[in-house]
Homo-oligomer: A and B are copies of this chain.
């Protein structure tokens, strides 16, 4: 069965998309075509949306689902004219929250993802630059400024995890690749030893690692299963010997890896 889902907002649409995606993943038997439509902030754009929605209804033979976080009432009413099932996210929750908080909502558009309402925005951007500058062991003399240092074999997912933590939470995350040299010495590199409390390990299944490395350097020793298995085993042994917490990235997304790391290390996330 096919249905189209529209995530519509007069802002970035991030909230509508995030909630809509979460809800739709619960329905496994239906194949959804997903459309993100940010900045629907005029009646004219809303009318254009209605046409797109009605066209999808006709094509699918079933009315689309709308997830919207449109604040403007007139625009919302225009959208409601479409042949669709509308989940009006803000309306559902703002009235009960107003009652609970004894305060009126400001009903203003697009605040959640604006700089103005994000006290830690600068921290997030600084953290992105920190992650870039301290990626892949490029330099180690700023580790005193790091909140966390991810360690693991080459291509086990350290870089995207660091960037996600930086962008999403303003966490200053460096990463350091453990190479064969470090393994043969069977100890932590000197640069890491003094920051041991900040270390967190990533590991990965050897066959997955081999497949990732083969995309980068096909048929190399670096990408061979034997080499990958050796490195993973040595690094996991190192983690255990040095009492470094670690998780296996093979089956987890950067969102999940980050959430698990932060829970395990007890870093209180810096929320806006």
Query: Complex formed: what's the CA distance from A12 to B94 in Å?
Result: 24
Contact residues of A between 43 and 57, Cβ < 8 Å to B: none
Instruction: Tell me the bound Cα distance from A241 to B33 in angstroms.
Output: 39
User: Which residues of A come within 8 Å of B, CB atoms?
Assistant: 1, 3, 11-15, 17-19, 21-23, 25-30, 34-36, 38-39, 65, 69, 85, 87, 89-90, 92-94, 96-97, 100-101, 103, 105-108, 110-118, 121, 124-125, 128-129, 132, 135, 157, 159-160, 163-164, 167, 251-256, 258-260, 262-263, 268-269, 271-272
Interchain CB contact under 8 A, B256 and A113: yes
* Given known A18-B14, A87-B96, A253-B113, contact A260–B65 (CB-CB < 8 A): no
Instruction: Identify A12's interface contact among B69, B124, B255, B272, CB under 8 A.
Output: B255
B21, B22, B103, B159: the one contacting A271 at CB < 8 Å is B21
Smallest distance from the beta carbon of A247 to chain B beta carbons, Å? 12
Residue of A17, A105, A112 most packed against chain B (CB within 10 A):
A112
* Smallest CB separation, A145 vs chain B (Å): 14
Known contacts A114-B256, A167-B164: does B19 contact A269 (CB below 8 Å)?
A: no
The smallest C-beta distance from A11 to any residue of chain B, in angstroms, reads: 8
Contact B163 A115 (CB under 8 A): no
Copies in the complex: 2
Q: Shortest CB–CB separation between residue A150 and chain B, in angstroms?
A: 14
A27-B105, A128-B159 are contacts. A36–B93 as well, Cβ < 8 Å?
A: no
Check A22/B26 contact, CB under 8 A, given A256-B110, A259-B38. no
| A23 CB → nearest B CB, Å | 6
Q: Can you give 25 A-B contacts (C-beta < 8 A)?
A: A1-B103, A12-B255, A13-B259, A18-B112, A23-B93, A26-B107, A26-B111, A27-B103, A27-B105, A27-B106, A30-B101, A34-B271, A35-B268, A38-B259, A65-B100, A87-B96, A87-B97, A115-B251, A115-B253, A121-B253, A124-B160, A132-B132, A160-B167, A164-B167, A167-B167
Give the docked Cα–Cα distance between A118 and B34 (Å).
Answer: 13
